[in-house]
Amino acid sequence: MEKTSDNQTERTPLLLITAAIEQGGRTMASLLRKGPLLGITGSAQIRNVQGEEVQTLDQIGQETFLGLFRRSRAVLSVLSEEAEMPEVLPCDEKTSLLVAMDPLDGSSNISVNAPIGSIFSIFRPPAPSSSSPEGLFLNASSPLLSAYLLYSVSTSLVLAFSGETRVFTLDPDTGEFLGDGSPWRFPDKGKIYSTNEAYLPRWEKPLQDYLSWIKKERNPSMILRYIGALVGDFHRNLLKGGIYLYPAEAGEKTSGKLRLLYEACPMAHIARNAGGIATDGKQDILTIVPRSVHQRVPLIVGSVDLVREFQERTGHPLSGL
């Protein structure tokens, strides 16, 4: 990493946190490769605070990254999908930062050997930082750095910082994440849409009409590609150009499915730094002020032209993006 923050006092903790993410990625990539042989690919037989079934590797991912952040002494508090409340860590309070994470995204893909990931956002704590652990995250600034790890044919690390998004690949022989140093940009045009069409009957009418239009009338037409793991679907669209859609459902789930602070927000930050856009269907994801640490939101993210087209077709054109 050549640059992470314009504030030199934040440079050291950001580098320490990034090093912890890299080490966690190496550890998890190794465990995932050997998972079936070690007997760790099944359910842990418990449910997390979200009411979701926890996989054994979910627990391992939580313990791995939390332990690395604790040892870095650069993290004031960690918010995780797997824990009800943020955990305060021993640190240098003058320079420490906040981390929100989904330690293993798409863990239902583990048993079928499909792509999964880990997602992170790093925030500057509010000043003064005497708030409760929950209040720290609810009042934090926009992300300083966001990252995800993609565990697939190879292991990728994607970092967004200082207005750029960069992609690195793990060399399993050396353990280093290597890249060519060039910022990555969303292609301006794309033809991929990623969504779970099984939920189409639950969507509001404008969303149903939009999906019908891109399948039957749009010129050029688009193709569906959907893995079922946010990191995997986002990464494909980042490289090839496309739009990812997990909109709100009509009725009870109008608040959306994905969590704002450790799923939607980091992906929005990475997209923005790569020249893309992310919205909840009405406003920029990065402008949403969280009401709770596990708040859920709809997410539409991808190439600029495709997201703007979605907004216009569904009656909420974006301005200023």
Helix axes of 56-72 and 8-38: crossing angle, nearest 10 degrees: 150
pLDDT given for residue 53 in this prediction = 75
Residue 104 known to bind ligand: yes
In a domain, 321, yes or no: no
How large is the C-alpha radius of gyration of the chain?
A: 19
Answer yes or no: is 243 within a domain: yes
User: Where among 153, 178, 203 does a domain terminate?
Assistant: 178
CATH code of the domain covering residue 145? 3.30.540.10
Residues 123 and 26 in one domain: yes
pLDDT of residue 319: 57
Let me know if residue 148 belongs to a domain: yes
Q: What is the mean pLDDT of the chain?
A: 91
Q: Is 105 annotated as a binding residue?
A: yes
Shared domain for 58 and 153, answered yes or no, is: yes
Domain count, the chain: 2
Q: What's the pLDDT at 1?
A: 29
112 domain-assigned:
yes
Same domain flag for 74 and 101: yes
96 is in an annotated binding site: no
Write down the pLDDT at residue 4.
45
Annotated binding-site residue? 102 = yes
Show which of 178, 200, 219 is a domain's final residue: 178
Q: Does 166 lie in the same domain as 30?
A: yes
Whole-number pLDDT of residue 281:
92
The reply, when asked if residue 246 is annotated as ligand binding, is yes
Q: Which residues of the chain have pLDDT under 50?
A: 1-4
Spell out the residues 6+ positions from residue 48 whose beta carbon is closer than 8 angstroms to its own.
54, 58, 81, 82
CATH number of the CATH domain containing 270: 3.40.190.80
Task: Indicate if 122 and 38 belong to the same structural domain.
Answer: yes
Q: Which residues constitute the domain of residue 59?
A: 8-178
Is 245 a known ligand-binding residue? yes
pTM: 0.93
Is 199 annotated as contributing to ligand binding? no
Bridge partners of residue 244, in order along the sequence? 194, 301
Q: Are 116 and 37 within one domain?
A: yes
DSSP 3-state of 281: coil
Same-domain pairing of 166 and 23: yes
pLDDT at 7: 66
Instruction: Tell whether 108 is in a known binding site.
Output: yes
Last residue of a domain, one of 120, 150, 178: 178
- 295 φψ region: left (φ > 0), alpha (ψ -120 to 50), beta (else): beta
